[in-house]
A and B are shown apart, each in its own frame.
Chain A
Amino acid sequence: MKTVSSLLDDHWYERYKKISKLNIRSSIYDVTNRCNLRCKGCFFFSSDEHKAAPEENDLARWEAFIDKEMERGVNLAILIGGEPTLCFDRVEAFYKRLPTFCATNGLIKVPRDRFPTMMIGISLWGDEEDERVLRGRDTFSISSKHYAGDPYTYYLYTITPKQIGKTERIIRKIHEAGLKVHMQLLSNDEGVSGFSWKPEELVAIRAEMDAMLDAYPETVISSKYYHEIITTGKMMGRPFGWMECPSVTQPLDQRDPAPKRLTNFIRWASDLTTMHRCCTSETRDCATCKDGAAHMSWVMVNKRAHMASTRDLQNWIEVYEMFAKLYQFLPW
């Protein structure tokens, strides 16, 4: 029988031991239905999830809800929206209780005196031109000033097909701002012309993502195996899709056969009662979903499938380390 220690040398085994007991149990929370941007391709608005449920405005109810979530075993709160920084009191209710990651467009600065070590991921959708087309303004010029040098912040760079050949300029700007970056691909939920991926573009961007990781290893939080998975949509020859996705809300998950999945994962709407189907849009075609977190989770929950060879298991370790670094369960 193949075992972890039979597949790994001492160096890789030490790396494995650092992640093997992390037991990360995340869930996702829509903090608010409101946003200070309206981006083309934002699944939250394109699929009307902002209308799914009215916001809970009573802070005491948020606090009681979070306490129940912790009793349910959640040890990582991923806050999305809308724009969470519009509701700092709700964000603080999470932050005071458990490890919290806050996704933001970076236009409102999170006050570090109030949230000294909160993990922040700033969304970025390309260069100035792409940002203006898709988001109505160049957010980087603002967010990079707000967070320059911040040790708990990284950019979540959603790459579009129009970024092929241009990513280095963005990565360099992030590097020069003293920040980290993680890359994922636009799913183009609203079918904006020119922003859907063609097969040859996915091949090209995979090579470019690999090159960025090689050129900026201290800035880019990623792994080449993740690049392979997210650009090909395949893992071990299995295509990503509804019957494989690990990030489906557990109480709504009736799939048969049941795939490997995130334990106890739920994506909650901001009324604290309604559950969304999955970590992203219900209207998205799962076969073409490019959600980065779903793809890395897909790898992580399939550990035994990666025990056929040393290289496979090393790939699994690198993806798990990447996830753990993004949420600072491992230091950068």
Chain B
Amino acid sequence: MTVAMELDQMILNIAAIMIEELKLEDVTPESFDPDIDLVDEVGIDSMDLATVALVLRDKYAVRIDEDDYPKLTTLRLISAYIHRKLAARG
């Protein structure tokens, strides 16, 4: 699997987590725009991000630093962040 494919799969996985954890309606992992601004457009706040971060920590054993929340404004950016941390770990 190429890096791009891995990233696409991770976007779908994290989209599914966000939809379930935040009870987002009328959206599927496939229809979730990975570039939509989660804070400005979807209305997600830092508490929502913390909720998702806990699930991601359990699933990927990757901790999202709270100071990094402001940078993680889209599904693609979150996925890339996790992917990068996993890659760095080898």
Contacts and interface: CB of A to CB of B under 8 A. Distances in A.
B-side interface mostly: loop
B81 to A, nearest CB: 20
A2 B48 contact: no
Contacts of B46: 263
B14 to A, nearest CB: 15
Contacts of A20: 39-40
A21 B40 CA distance: 8
B43 A263 contact: no
A4 B41 contact: yes
A1 B27 contact: yes
Nearest to B22: A304
Interface in B21-49: 22, 24-27, 31-32, 36, 39-48
Contacts of B44: 304
B32 A1 contact: yes
Interface string A1-29: 11111000000000001001100000000
A306 B45 CA distance: 13
B47 A3 contact: no
Contact of B41 (A3, A21, A258, A261): A3
B25 A1 contact: yes
Interface residues of B, number: 18
B45 A301 contact: yes
A175 interface: no
Interface string B35-68: 0100111111111100000000000000000000
B36 A260 contact: no
A68 interface: no
B27 A303 contact: no
A4 B40 contact: yes
A261 B31 CA distance: 30
B22, B24, B47: residue with the most chain A Cβ atoms closer than 10 Å? B47
Contacts of A301: 45, 47
A2 B44 CA distance: 12
A107 interface: no
B36 A3 contact: yes
Contacts of B42: 1, 3-4, 304
Interface string A244-266: 00000000000000101101000
Interface string A21-45: 1000000000000000000000000
B30 to A, nearest CB: 12
A299 to B, nearest CB: 13
Contact of B48 (A3, A304, A306): A304
Contact of B43 (A17, A258, A261, A303): A303
A98 interface: no
Nearest to A23: B70
Given A1-B26, A1-B32, A2-B25, A263 B48 contact: no
Nearest to B67: A73
Contacts of B31: 1
Contacts of A258: 47
B3 to A, nearest CB: 28
Contact of B47 (A1, A2, A263): A263
A307 interface: yes
Interface of B: 22, 24-27, 31-32, 36, 39-48
Which 6 A-B pairs have CB atoms at the shortest separation, nearest pair first? A1-B27, A304-B43, A3-B41, A303-B43, A1-B26, A307-B43
25 contacts: A1-B24, A1-B25, A1-B27, A1-B32, A1-B42, A2-B25, A2-B26, A3-B42, A4-B41, A4-B43, A17-B40, A20-B39, A20-B40, A258-B47, A260-B47, A261-B47, A263-B47, A301-B45, A303-B43, A304-B22, A304-B43, A304-B44, A304-B45, A304-B48, A306-B43
